Chains A and B, each alone.
Chain A
Amino acid sequence: MKRPGAGVRARMLLRSFAVQGSWNYQTLIGTGLAFVLAPALREVYKGDDEALRRSLGRHTELFNSHPYLAAVAAGAIARLEADGAPADTVTRFKHAVRGSLGTLGDRLVWLMWRPMSVLLGVSLVLAGAAWWVGALAFLLVFNALHLWMRAWGLAIGLRDGLQIGRTLKGVPFPAMGDRAGQLGALLAGFAAALAAGGPGSRPWEWGVAVGAALLGITLGPRVRGAAALAMVLALVAGLVLART
């Protein structure tokens, strides 16, 4: 058994930022996972080019995961390869983890953490902060979790290998998502009110804004189409008025 050294771990971590580089409808991030694993496999199969070629080819098979948690899988697979686990064990492991790593990350990051961080940045801008304060606040808060997930994921994957499921169960991802969701809801209300209230807004304008907010909550993601339609109508009306 030969565990990946610090240099290999650093290269794997760097490569994990490009894990979705060859995302496609056939193998999803399969090629990307092999790309992340390559430094570790080069070390494991040092001096056996044929085994390295076969191993790299094998790891380009279908795989999917949340991109930030792909490092968990890469770490665990590198550990299994270093431990000399049979190929079918590694394949079964990949099949077993890909669904849960996707669900965990999607819920925490895309559904909760990112919207909450965006709303923090937008709230600051709407409250009158400089543009860079809002943008930087968003990028710092969002990437604090992002970078931690990648680095921590690779480390625990390499440490725990097949036992990674037990470790992941102990991580409070759902609680973190809930907290982010609560903060996000607070910020959504805060930002919406700031956007509604301009200098000297009159009561009826607040009333209309409340209606818009309720419409937004009701429509959810469909608000995009409704807003675009209203804007097209406004543009057409403006063009007609401009000609008369």
Chain B
Amino acid sequence: MILTAAQVVAVTLIGGLVALDATSLGQFMVSRPFVAAALGGLVVGRPAQGIIAGVVLEALHLAVLPVGAAKYPEGGPPALAAGAVYAANFPPVAASATLLVVVLVALALEMVGGRSVDLMRQVTVRFAGAPVEGLTPGQLARRHLAPMAIDFARGALLTLAAVLLLGWLLRAIDFSGFPEVAIETLLRLAVVAGLASALRLFGRAHYPLFLAGAAGGALVAWLR
């Protein structure tokens, strides 16, 4: 069994809140993939396993910028579901292959989530502007809060779809012949490339600092 019914309900509701956090309400960044995935793991009692999926997704989400009206993948709800399902399935038959499937599905659903945000913003146009005679405070509040309710429902549905899809896939795929070492290496390299891509945000002029950090990281990795 992947998740209990109560855990599915909890993850779904948290998914709605995580979707709100990304743009509509708060923006405390609980919706960042590595935090959301840890939360997903926490729901099933294994946050340390949830955050493993979160770190991979976070590395590949680092360079996504929500600037202006840019359309971008939505990281929170899929990462929450990925963290919950990966943690609930732990220890899996094939840890790396399971993680690969979880991450791939989450990446695909991030695109679906981004598209649904775009659609929601088009729908929300109907709540925009004001009649010539103006608005009462109550009318204004309803116009503002209705899209937030839609956003919550959207995030919850996306999370539920992700949990169900992942649960079904992990049951359906036979992982016994997967090359675990090769997949583990691939995932590790994807994380390395994703984390290094952040240098593009900070500017390539900071190459020396990046190299200094890498030297420190290599030393810590060697010593542990």
Contact = CB atoms under 8 A, between A and B. Distances in A.
B43 to A, nearest CB: 13
Contacts of B104: 228, 231-232, 235
Interface stretch (A2-10, A56-64, A78-86, A155-163): A56-64
A235 B100 contact: yes
Interface in B100-130: 100-101, 103-104, 107, 121-122, 124-125, 127-130
A202 to B, nearest CB: 11
Given A220-B200, A223-B63, 12 more contacts: A18-B25, A20-B23, A34-B135, A34-B140, A53-B135, A186-B210, A186-B213, A189-B217, A196-B217, A216-B197, A220-B197, A228-B104
Interface of B: 23-30, 32, 34-35, 38, 41, 47-48, 50-51, 55, 58-69, 73, 97, 100-101, 103-104, 107, 121-122, 124-125, 127-137, 140-141, 143-148, 151, 173-179, 182-183, 185-204, 206-207, 209-218, 220-222, 224
A167 B29 CA distance: 28
Contact of B176 (A17, A128, A217, A242): A242
Interface stretch (A89-97, A109-117, A168-176): A109-117
Interface of A: 17-18, 20-28, 30-32, 34-35, 38, 42, 49-50, 52-58, 60-61, 64, 67-68, 102, 106, 110-112, 114-119, 121-123, 125-128, 130-132, 134-135, 138-139, 142-143, 146, 181-182, 184-199, 201, 205-206, 208-209, 212-217, 219-221, 223-224, 226-228, 230-232, 234-235, 237-239, 241-244
A213 B27 contact: no
B204 A189 contact: no
B51 to A, nearest CB: 4
Given A38-B141, A128-B224, A26 B125 contact: yes
Contacts of B216: 186, 189-190, 193
B128 A26 contact: yes
Contact of B129 (A26, A102, A112, A234): A26
Given A122-B195, A132-B47, A139-B35, A238 B179 contact: yes
B60 to A, nearest CB: 5
Nearest to B48: A131
Nearest to B97: A238
Contact of A235 (B101, B209, B218): B101
B47 to A, nearest CB: 5
A9 to B, nearest CB: 17
A184 B201 contact: yes
Contacts of A194: 217, 220-221
A238 B212 contact: no
Contacts of A243: 177
B200 to A, nearest CB: 4
A171 to B, nearest CB: 20
6 contacts: A31-B140, A56-B130, A115-B202, A118-B58, A122-B59, A230-B190
B128 A27 contact: yes
Contacts of B50: 131
B198 A224 contact: no
Contact of A110 (B23, B65, B101): B65
A234 B196 contact: no
